[in-house]
Amino acid sequence: MHYNFIKASSRRYLEELANRGHEMEDVYNSVNIMQDTAWEINKPVYEVIKKLLETSSAIGGLPVDPEDPNNMPLPIKPVDISTNEDALKKWKREASMVYQARAKSKSKFIQVNQIVEEAKQLKDRKEFFYPYQLDFRGRIYPVPAMLSPQSADYSRALLKFKYGKPMGTDEAFNNFAVAGANLFGETDKEELSIRRQWVIDNAERILSTANSPLEDTSWAEADKPFSFLAFCFEYRDFSNSGFDSSFITTLPIQSDCSNSGLQHYSAMMRDEIGGKATNLIPSNKPNDVYGLVAQKLVMKLRDNPSPMAKLWLDYGIDRKICKKPVMCLPYSLTMFSCRRYIHDHVEKQFKEKNKQHQFGEDLFKASNFLTPIMWQCINEIILGAKKIMKFLKDISRLVASENLPVTWTTPLGLPVQMMCYKKESKRVKTKMGDSIIKLSIQSDTDVIDRRKTAQSICPNFIHSLDASVLQLAVVKAKAEGVTNFSLIHDSFGSVAPDTHLLSKAIREAFCEIYKTDVLLNFAVEMKAMCSNKNQAKFPNIPEKGNLDLEQVKQSVFFCV
């Protein structure tokens, strides 16, 4: 089967890519390096997941069959449901929520079964490889959609590298232990020494879990339960070797960037405040922008006389409830999305952690109350990003007003073409059996949608930049001797003995990308496309700060 290197349908664009291939050597090299990583199935994890599916167990958040009434039972009907209209309405409302939850869970249940079936087909293979494709922004994805290093937690846990390296040094074990603590999540915002010590202090618990994962299910309490379970199995094998330095480790160890979207905005603006909040500047402890927003939110709620403010304080405001809204701000977060993230977080905490709340049936009202307050807190802390977002949107509107697609070149030479056309709907009548079915089919027009273009530019521009950092980091790491890669956009994985080499490559790549003024280059490309009238309307580039990006190379918590 043939796949284009970049997922795009425009023949002209694909021809341009072919003609400019020599200008983006690092882009091609990075994909070839990733495709050279050999994988195998993590059999102990496979056996656990297989057993959980056979017993319809939801341990670790594994999707279960929503059609099984034992998993998602309907609420019990009140005895007076036929005569009490209020009771009937309440039961219908509760039953509707169950039906909605079942519908959401159905696709996840199908997905987990497909993934496990793929693992079954591959578990006796000596090795296998993943082909990769780029989307139109340059982000790299495996072609297989189900079992992959970029899929759900249980899918990633089913995979490990075929060829590992000796654990070798204390530094490698430190990297290994820190990754385990990060996966569990209890100390993932503490100093690295504390995270390492957490693994040492919990060694017996980790070994118990690895030896009897279906009896000792404490691994299910982890933030990433199945990946943590895979860590437990690897730790057990290392322990059984007597912690021999020649032990070959094959477990992918991930290093995650601290809100990569805000890191990119801070780097573009040389924003010292944003840089400090997102760990571009070295510090003894990791800075947590989600925690900063949570602290400000608590202070505002304390000053708010509304009874709803007290309910939220009683519920507990922490970094987790602020994480999704803050994380999505660089990607054109709206207040509508912000409210939905808050609502979903409370429901998820209740379902998975049994965290109670006093909002009753007014969770919509409660989340609607909190949204503008959280929005204000985010905007007070993240100033530099908002300026750049406005700048990008203003320019994109000018380009779209001339019915032109927004087009720019990434720092590694990849041309990106963002085409947001208006849609038109056509009604089609067709006969099925004895019935006439009327369908609506949407198709693109030839007119660029200005509103959609302005909404889309921020996430797409940032994604093109983090893709550039990843591609350059892979090329640099390979040159230093790293041979295995497990990559998810802003999460970089290798075996523990190579983590220090990959970390060095990531920081060097980030600094190298921002040696050029990416914002100025974007503006110059856009201006050249516009008429003289619109060129005169071009906004000025936001004033930059004094952040020294070379400090990133010494920042431990930039990506860990």
**DSSP secondary structure, 432-459, as one string:** ETTEEEEEEEEEEEEEE-HHHHHHHHHH
- Verify whether residue 68 is a known catalytic residue: no
Q: Which residue has the tokens 């079942």?
A: 102
Torsion, Cα of 26, 32, 38, 40 (10° steps): 100
- DSSP per-residue codes, 468-532: HHHHHHHHHHHHTT----EE-SSEEEE-GGGHHHHHHHHHHHHHHHTTS-HHHHHHHHHHHHS-H
Q: Please give the sequence-ordered ranges of beta strands (E in DSSP) within 317-432, or none if there are none.
A: 406-409, 415-418, 421-432
Q: How far apart are CA 495 and CA 490, in angstroms?
A: 17
Looking at residue 150, the DSSP 8-state letter turns out to be T
Question: In the block, which residue shows the tokens 């041979």?
Answer: 483
Give the 3-state secondary structure percentages of the chain, helix then strand then coil, rounded to 5. 55, 10, 30
The two three-digit tokens of residue 339, written as one number = 């409210």
Q: What's at 326, amino acid-wise?
A: V
Q: Can you say how many angstroms the Cα of residue 171 is from the centroid of all Cα atoms in its chain?
A: 28
Residues 6+ apart with CB under 8 A from 124: none
SS (H, E, C) 532-551: HHHHCCCCCCCCCCCCCHHH
CA distance 217 to 519: 49
Distance CA 106, CA 501 (A): 42
Beta bridge partners of 418: 406
CA angle 231, 233, 239 (to 5 degrees): 100
Question: 204 Cβ partners below 8 Å, 6+ apart?
Answer: none
* Active-site position among 490, 498, 517, 548: 490
What is the three-class DSSP state of 248?
Answer: strand
d(CA 79, CA 102): 25
Fill in the amino acid letter for 526.
Answer: M
* Residue length of the chain: 560
Scored b (16 or more CB within 10 A) or e, 257-271 reads: bbbbbbbbbbbbbbb
For the range 228-232, what are the long-range contacts, defined as Cβ-Cβ under 8 Å and sequence gap of 24 or more? 228/180, 228/183, 228/184, 229/45, 229/48, 229/60, 229/157, 230/42, 230/44, 230/45, 230/157, 230/160, 231/179, 231/180, 231/183, 231/206, 232/180, 232/206, 232/207
Catalytic sites, residue numbers: 490
